[in-house]
Amino acid sequence: QKEVEQNSGPLSVPEGAIASLNCTYSDRGSQSFFWYRQYSGKSPELIMSIYSNGDKEDGRFTAQLNKASQYVSLLIRDSQPSDSATYLCAVKRETSGSRLTFGEGTQLTVNP
Amino acid sequence: ETGVTQTPRHLVMGMTNKKSLKCEQHLGHNAMYWYKQSAKKPLELMFVYNFKEQTENNSVPSRFSPECPNSSHLFLHLHTLQPEDSALYLCASSRDGQGGYGYTFGSGTRLTVV
């Protein structure tokens, strides 16, 4: 079982729709959860962090965490073509020091 | 300069060459990292430095040699690489050695080994 698993996609949504990106993790002791956005040929950029169960909203982005189900998601409302990128889920485990474990990423395309 | 700066942006080297990648962070962070990103694979942690001391080496081959002279600078020295080492090499920094606030990545070095 992969430590951090994401739907590989690609995921395609029309402009203005809600894009839903999902991530599951294997270590129940994981503490901190991050979503990074990576445009083609660029480096990852941190867009959301979440540490406790529930929802966290920042503009058009909402991160959702359910530790019991070992599940974290990212919702993008009113999707724009500029949101087209690969989204990486990253998890910090309690026993991993400063190491973040990344999923393979989900490629999102928002069609005008 | 702000953020995390990596040089060079692109590097082509032969298998017998020696080259170095440089990373500098201007964020006052205390931890720095080297990651490797290959196509269709997750980001792979290579090395971790906390307060310029190496705290993790993720079983990286000795042809990759890191150096961290201070908390703001990180180098990756390369020698006798293999074509499969071609990848995007990313430097990152974090506020503390626990990674709890996430990382800030540099723009990366696209390495091609010929």
How do residues B17-76 score in pLDDT, each as one tens digit? 999 999 999 999 999 999 999 987 889 999 999 888 888 888 899 999 999 999 999 999
Q: What is the rounded CA–CA span in Å between residue A33 and residue A23?
A: 10
**Per residue in A67-96, pLDDT tens?**
999 999 999 999 999 999 999 999 998 777
Q: What is the rounded CA–CA span in Å between residue A74 and residue A9?
A: 14
Nearest by CB to B41, which of A34, A100, A104?
A: A104
Distance from CA of A103 to the nearest CA of B (A): 6
- In chain A, what residues touch B96 (CB-CB under 8 Å)? 98
CA distances, B91 to each of A15, A55, A68, A76, B88 (Å): 33, 30, 33, 27, 10
Strands (E), A2-70: 4-6, 11-14, 19-25, 30-38, 45-50, 54-58, 61-66
Distance from CA of B50 to the nearest CA of A (A): 9
Does the structure show a pLDDT above 70 at B1?
A: no
Minimum Cα–Cα distance from B93: chain A residue = A98
Determine whether the interchain pair B55/A102 forms a contact, defined as Cβ–Cβ distance below 8 Å. Answer: no
**Per residue in B6-28, pLDDT tens?**
999 999 999 999 999 999 999 99
pLDDT of residue B97: 62
β pairing state of B10-13 and B109-113: parallel
Here the tokens at position A88 are 């990486």
pLDDT of residue B102: 84
